[in-house]
């Protein structure tokens, strides 16, 4: 019996060994085939990958930082293998320009990933949709109907009302200046309320979802799983094992979100049937999409707008719109509170325009040159998407001296670019003055490749204007309404997810800077 068991163990061990040898041979074959496909060109340099896992072991807890360290050794265009996926990481503005402008069409695709499949209705949203006619129609819908200058302006009163509400909540939570408040939480609630009012016309409380899950809990879980590392995205034969449990969590939270989005759409449809619309009410984005869907039934267009399209757009707005705005304001406040001289200068600028007898209006922001430089400096050091959303090559392409194979995943490490000493003087110092004066201004909307917080080209973020409007007004109001103090040094640790927020909440104590009536 023991002899038989020993024989079975030896046989199983031999079988595993043969399987691993087969995988190694296959891996080497694919590498050689990929190299030969490039003709005379060669792959970019990079660290030697391990069999099966490739370079995944080198990512660490903060991949943007780990990849920046690797780039210092291997260069600003670097080739790695994440599992079976060929990957290129870019850490230079000039090389990023080659990928995102010169060869923009080749790299306009998105890879198939678990987030797109299980969260975004099988890649039916804008952010994760593959490049093609469907994506073009969805992008057109966003840029021509939803995120225009006129539409952004129509929500100005919403932004001003919600920012004023944030100020009031901070003042009351602090016991009128007696204790510190969780600034992170207040900023997150602000972004959440603004985005919800833009797409649905109202805010949502924690008791409005099914299954006993709060609204904020749903948003937190969506952000957590959307930004989670899914090993099956890189080692395909492990996809169905769901080793981290992320795919299961995605399905659960997506079901909750779908019920929420269906409720929002039904509310709008019922209100339209009952003709209970307030004529003076600003149309929210679901209103606009339903209007277009009705027109489609009368005069069919290239893409019929369905409930899935509306839900996918709501998903993008909740995931990207809330996270990017809140993390940017959060980091800006962290940097300003850690640099008192910057706080004083910003407050002096705002007061010189607004005075102390009123709050900031959105129209005032255009006069705050220094504050807008603070926002740019925040984007440089703390880009909301440090690696952007990954691109994928649709065909083989020669970029400079190197060959990039088809189906290669491309990460643009804007976090590393923002800390490059060859581009920025004193790159680790928070210094808004670097953007002051003629010739120093940088465009954050994709024209200057030194600063790409929202990406650029075909896959650039269509909601840039709305995001900037929230960030600038919120920051201006926080600095104008209160004097701020913190105990000790501001902790600047970060965590990696859908975006890169602070690891710990920002706690600070407000003191009244304006007359009492402007704070409540």
Binding site listing for heme = 461
Other CB atoms within 10 A of residue 102 CB: 14
Q: Are 159 and 469 contacting, i.e. CB atoms less than 8 angstroms apart? A: yes
Question: Considering only CA atoms, which of 58, 60, 84 is closest in space to residue 73?
Answer: 58
How far is the C-alpha of 42 from the C-alpha of 93, rounded, in Å? 21
Question: Considering only CA atoms, which of 356, 326, 324 is closest in space to residue 462?
Answer: 324
Placement of tokens 């690696």 in the chain: 387
Structure tokens at 49: 């990958």
How far is the C-alpha of 155 from the C-alpha of 143, rounded, in Å? 16
Question: Considering only CA atoms, which of 310, 235, 285 is closest in space to residue 82?
Answer: 235
Cα radius of gyration (the chain): 25
How far is the C-alpha of 38 from the C-alpha of 232, rounded, in Å? 27
The terminus-to-terminus CA distance of the chain in angstroms comes to: 82
How far is the C-alpha of 243 from the C-alpha of 453, rounded, in Å? 32
Other CB atoms within 10 A of residue 411 CB: 22
Residues belonging to the binding site are 461
The Cα-based distances of 158 to 291, 376, 476 in angstroms read: 21, 24, 16
What sign does the dihedral 387-388-391-396 (CA atoms) show?
negative
The residues near 194 (Cβ < 8 Å, ≥ 6 apart) are 155, 158, 159, 162, 325, 470
Placement of tokens 């194979």 in the chain: 405
Q: Are 416 and 403 contacting, i.e. CB atoms less than 8 angstroms apart? A: no
CA 304-152-96 angle, to 5 degrees, is 80
DSSP 8-state symbol, 476: H
Q: Are 159 and 194 contacting, i.e. CB atoms less than 8 angstroms apart? A: yes
């Amino acid at each position: 019996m023991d002899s038989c068991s020993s024989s079975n163990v030896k046989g199983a061990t031999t079988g595993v060994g043969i399987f691993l040898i087969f995988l190694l041979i296959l891996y080497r074959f694919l590498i050689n085939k990929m190299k030969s496909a490039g003709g005379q060109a060669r792959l970019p340099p990079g660290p030697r990958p391990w069999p099966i896992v490739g370079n995944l072991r080198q990512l660490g807890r903060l991949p943007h930082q780990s990849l920046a360290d690797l780039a210092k050794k291997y260069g600003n265009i670097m080739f790695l293998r994440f599992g079976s996926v060929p990957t290129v990481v870019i850490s230079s503005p000039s090389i990023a320009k080659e990928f995102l402008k010169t060869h923009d069409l080749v790299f306009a695709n998105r890879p198939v990933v678990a987030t797109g499949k299980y969260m975004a209705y099988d890649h039916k949203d804008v952010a994760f949709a593959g490049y093609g006619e469907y994506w073009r129609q969805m992008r057109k819908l966003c840029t021509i109907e939803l995120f225009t200058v006129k539409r952004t302006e129509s929500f100005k009163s919403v932004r001003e009302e919600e920012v004023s509400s944030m100020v009031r909540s901070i003042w009351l939570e602090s016991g009128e200046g007696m204790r510190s408040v969780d600034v992170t939480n207040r900023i997150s609630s602000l972004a959440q309320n603004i985005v919800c009012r833009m797409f649905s016309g109202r805010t949502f409380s924690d008791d409005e979802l099914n299954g006993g899950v709060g609204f904020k809990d749903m948003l937190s879980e969506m952000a957590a799983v959307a930004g989670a590392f899914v090993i099956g995205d890189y080692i395909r034969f492990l996809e169905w094992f769901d080793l981290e449990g992320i795919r299961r969590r995605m399905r659960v939270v997506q079901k909750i979100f779908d019920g929420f989005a269906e409720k929002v759409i039904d509310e709008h449809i019922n209100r339209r049937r009952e003709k209970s619309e307030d004529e003076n009410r600003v149309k929210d984005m679901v209103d606009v999409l339903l209007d277009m869907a009705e027109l489609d039934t009368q005069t069919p267009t290239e893409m019929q707008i369905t409930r899935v399209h509306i839900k996918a757009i709501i998903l993008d707005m909740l995931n990207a719109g809330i996270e990017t705005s809140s993390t940017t304001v959060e980091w800006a406040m962290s940097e300003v509170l850690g640099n008192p001289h910057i706080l004083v200068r910003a407050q002096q600028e705002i007061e010189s325009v607004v005075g102390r007898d009123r709050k900031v209006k959105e129209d005032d922001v255009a006069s705050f040159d220094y504050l807008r430089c603070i926002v740019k400096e925040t984007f440089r050091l703390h880009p909301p998407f440090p690696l952007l959303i990954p691109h994928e090559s649709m065909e083989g392409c020669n970029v400079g001296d190197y060959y990039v194979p088809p189906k290669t995943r491309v990460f643009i490490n804007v976090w590393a670019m923002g800390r490059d000493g060859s581009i920025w003087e004193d790159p680790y110092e928070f210094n808004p003055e670097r953007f002051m004066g003629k010739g120093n201004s940088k465009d954050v909307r994709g024209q200057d490749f030194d600063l790409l917080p929202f990406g650029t080209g075909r896959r650039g973020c269509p909601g840039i204007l709305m995001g900037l409007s929230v960030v600038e007004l919120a920051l201006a109001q926080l600095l104008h309404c209160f004097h701020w103090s913190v105990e000790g040094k501001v902790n600047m640790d970060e965590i990696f997810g859908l975006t890169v927020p602070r690891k710990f909440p920002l706690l600070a104590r407000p003191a009244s800077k304006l007359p009492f009536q402007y704070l409540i």
